[in-house]
């Protein structure tokens, strides 16, 4: 929880359009790997549901996010939605979620520190450290290494749990 509050771990849509927790130092190269695919998937999903948002609307929303979140001003989704409506960018509707996902994919916003148990958004620029930009091949190799390490740790934990359960069952 502390690492999340400090911004060492960020919540965002990366790799696919569902929430993921990502180390702040990894967010930029991971977005670079996956953002275009996620934007295309979200656009396809939106169009399939009769939602057509012009690029100019995304640009206006991103500009607004940068303005109202500047200076580590973390705001809730509702507060940002109110700002979008107030600015006349888009009427209050379920379509607003597309603006948030796109802004995440474009590296504008990410999770901020929770405020009174409510999730907030913050500027990625203020929340995640600048890191050396990786070439696509380097980023893919790093993703594979990290993924394999995580899978190995999970398998070790599952194996240890199985042994523990077997020993406790034997002891009965």
pLDDT digits (tens, 9 = 90+) for 114-157: 998 899 999 999 998 777 776 777 766 766 666 666 655 556 66
C-alpha distances (whole Å) from 89 to each of 40, 81, 155 are 22, 10, 48
- Which has the closest alpha carbon to 106: 7, 29, 53, 36? 36
Written as six digits, the tokens of 24 are 């702040």
How far apart are the C-alpha atoms of 98 and 77, rounded to whole Å? 12
pTM of the model as a whole = 0.74
Q: What is the mean pLDDT of residues 45-57?
A: 92
H/E stretch holding 96 reads helix 96-105
């Amino acid at each position: 929880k502390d690492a999340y509050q400090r911004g060492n771990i960020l919540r965002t849509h990366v790799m696919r359009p569902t929430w993921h927790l990502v180390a702040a130092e990894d967010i930029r190269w991971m977005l670079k790997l996956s953002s275009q695919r996620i934007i295309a998937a979200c656009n396809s999903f939106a169009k399939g549901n009769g939602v057509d948002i012009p690029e100019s609307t995304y640009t206006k929303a991103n500009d607004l996010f940068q303005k109202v979140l500047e200076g580590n001003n973390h705001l809730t989704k509702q507060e940002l939605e109110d700002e979008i409506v107030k600015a006349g960018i888009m009427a209050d509707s379920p379509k607003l979620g597309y603006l948030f996902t796109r802004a995440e994919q474009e590296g504008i916003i990410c999770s901020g520190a929770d405020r009174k148990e409510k999730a907030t958004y913050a500027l990625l620029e203020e929340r995640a450290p600048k890191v050396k930009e990786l070439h696509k091949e380097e980023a893919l190799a790093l993703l594979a290494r990290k993924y394999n390490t995580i899978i190995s740790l999970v398998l070790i934990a599952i194996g240890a749990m199985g042994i523990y359960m077997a020993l406790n069952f034997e002891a009965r």
